[in-house]
Structure 1
Amino acid sequence: MPNTDSTRRFGDRVADYVRYRPDYPPALMAWLRDEHGVSPNWLVADIGAGTGISANMFLDAGHEVVAVEPNAPMRAAAVRWLGGNPRFRAIDGTAEATTLGGASVDLVSAAQAFHWFDADAVRSEWSRILRPDGLAAVYWNSRTLTGSSFLEGFEQLLRDYGTDYAQVAERYEGDAEMRRWFGAGFRGMTSFPYRQRLDFDTLRGRLLSSSYAPRAGHPQHEPMLAALRRLFDATEHDGIVDFDYRTRIYVGSVAA
């Protein structure tokens, strides 16, 4: 059965997550800086930080980052990768109970994780930990579902073989829902195109990094990989397929 506890859900696929999950387009950081005044002296709480992909983006921009992650294997992977940076630390906490002090951070970052949170509880917690002029940035890579034979075939593969793909896909919020969540504090939203160019091995790893992809030993695992091979062979160009996304971001202040 799929693991429905979001704090443990990815614990058995950390290595694939580290190697094959996409990062985020540079335009995202530029937009935060130019449109919302997010500067390197802002302390960032990266909530649901996972293996550190989003934390690394903020470190590269000069920020101090505290990564809040309840999944021990994922948190350990982030520490192995980023722990040598003096501007990085990782703590065991959840989006709804971060353990951070009140009015202690300038920016809450939630990358690829908001759909797992209790939306009402995080509003209260983020309001508590943000400084009076602080902001929250909620963003994720939204996989493009149509536009090429590969993209459409990959979507069908997930629907055919994913353990609980449909339920997870339905958890993502839309623009209207995010506007409502921020309420009067909503400051803006935008999106950017992003692409991974994958050979078969990296495509396989990208698939297996998903929590709804059946693992080895599951009766759907081998049939899923055989279907992936057929899809790749039918759609690759020069040994590569284009795995396309829209990176969506929403920014605002948060009131309890």
Structure 2
Amino acid sequence: MAPHDLRSTERFSSRVDNYVRFRPGYPQEVLSVLQQEIGFGTDWIVADVGSGTGISAGLFLKNGNVVIGIEPNLEMRSAAEQLLEGFPRFQSVTGTADNTSLGNQSVDLIVVAQAFHWFDPLAARAEFLQIVKPNGWVSLLWNLPRHYASPFLQDYQQLLIDYGIDYLKVRALTSQESAIEVLYGGTEFKKFVLQNEQQFDLESLRGRLLSSSYAPTEEHANHRPMLEKLEQLFDQHQNDGVVRFEYDTELFLGQLSA
């Protein structure tokens, strides 16, 4: 895992319930892009590295793919196994980006969804080169809140800056082009931006906030003030009892050079 945070494999352990209930899925257009760009099919074997609670794996399982979820965090991995127990093509594996435990040249597509910023890109690259088939592909995928899109999302981001533990640090890492370039090793990759959205009432907005790794936990001095401020923001921006939470779903796609 990434050297900047040695606890990155554990920091979601207490947030699993909120993560499962309130984190966004991924738009169906992700599959359309993969089909159009690389001929992605239902017979492809997918390794979902950093698979978390199974949100991204579900997209590919519903497409009919075999999906191997690689996740180091016990609580998140257990949640995925429960969520996806109805999909016989799902395999759950304990592992990390630099030690997946998968066999050489065993998968057609590696997917990293909302997890790449926790990886050491050079170590992940070495592992990915081992497990992906010749001419296989690597896709990075994440939902980024469109903080520029509305006054509510602008105020929400300021809330994270004011009360979050290390929000700006995590935000800076999420879409770091230099790390992406290291992973792909100088080969050309493409970037696609898709639209995604959730709508929240106050309770679900609170759960969405508390699912974030940088949201202070109950024992932290910022926890209660942050929730009080969140309620003020909701009251200010809600329309018919909900707020819109818009995302840019960024999708990177390429192959790894040896």
Give me the TM-score of the superposition, normalised by structure 2: 0.95
SS in 2 for 1:171: helix
Instruction: After TM superposition, give the deviation of residue 176 of structure 1 in Å.
Output: 6.4
Query: Match of 1:230?
Result: 232
Give CA-to-partner distance per residue, 1:11-47, whole Å, 9 cap, x none: 1110000000000111111100111111110000000
Taking the aligned partners of 1:43 and 1:177, their CA distance within structure 2 comes to 25
Deviations, residues 71-114 of structure 1 (Å, cap 9, x unaligned): 00000000011123210010100011100000000000000000
- Alignment-derived partner of residue 71 in structure 2: 69
After superposition, give the CA deviation of every residue in 1:195-245 in whole Å (9 maximum; x if it has no partner): 111111110000000011011121111100000000000011111111111
Give secondary structure in 2 for the equivalent of 1:133: strand
Preserved CA contact (<8 Å) 1:83 1:89: no
The residue type equivalent to 1:85 in the other structure is F
Answer whether contact 1:124 1:255 (CA < 8 A) is retained. no
Cα drift, residue 143 of structure 1:
1.0
Q: 2:30 corresponds to which residue?
A: 28
Aligned to 1:172: 174
Aligned position for 2:105: 103
Question: Residues of 1 paired with 2:243 and 2:109: CA distance?
Answer: 36
Q: What does residue 44 of structure 1 align with?
A: 46
CA distance in 2, matches of 1:20, 1:8: 19
- Off by >2 Å, runs of 4+ in structure 1: 173-181, 183-187
Decide whether the 8 Å contact of 1:41 with 1:63 is kept in 2. yes
Q: Secondary structure at the match of 2:173?
A: coil
Contact (CA 8 Å) 1:127, 1:254: kept in 2 or not?
yes
Matching of residue 252 in structure 1 with residue 222 in structure 2: no
Task: Report the CA distance between 1:146 and its aligned residue.
Answer: 1.6
User: For each residue in 1:178-209, what CA deviation from the matched residue of structure 2 results, as whole angstroms up to 9, or x when unmatched?
Assistant: 34642443342211111111111110000000
Distance 1:4 1:245 in 2: 28
Give 1:185's aligned residue.
187
Is the Cα contact below 8 Å between 2:122 and 2:182 reproduced in 1? no
Secondary structure (helix, strand or coil) at the match of 1:170 reads helix
1:124 aligned residue? 126
Report if aligned partners of 2:124, 2:183 keep a CA contact under 8 Å in 1: no
Residue type of the alignment partner of 2:196: Y
Kept in 2, the 8 Å contact 1:70–1:93? The answer is yes
Task: Give percent identity, aligned residues only.
Answer: 44
5+ residue gaps, structure 2, are none
**Paired position in structure 1 for 2:142:** 140
Alpha-carbon distance in structure 1 between the residues aligned to 2:107 and 2:29: 23
1:216 maps onto 2:218 in alignment: yes
Query: How many aligned positions are there?
Result: 254
Aligned-pair Cα RMSD in Å: 1.4
Distance in 2 (CA, whole Å) between partners of 1:185 and 1:102 is 21
* Distance of 2:107 and 2:143 partners within structure 1: 24
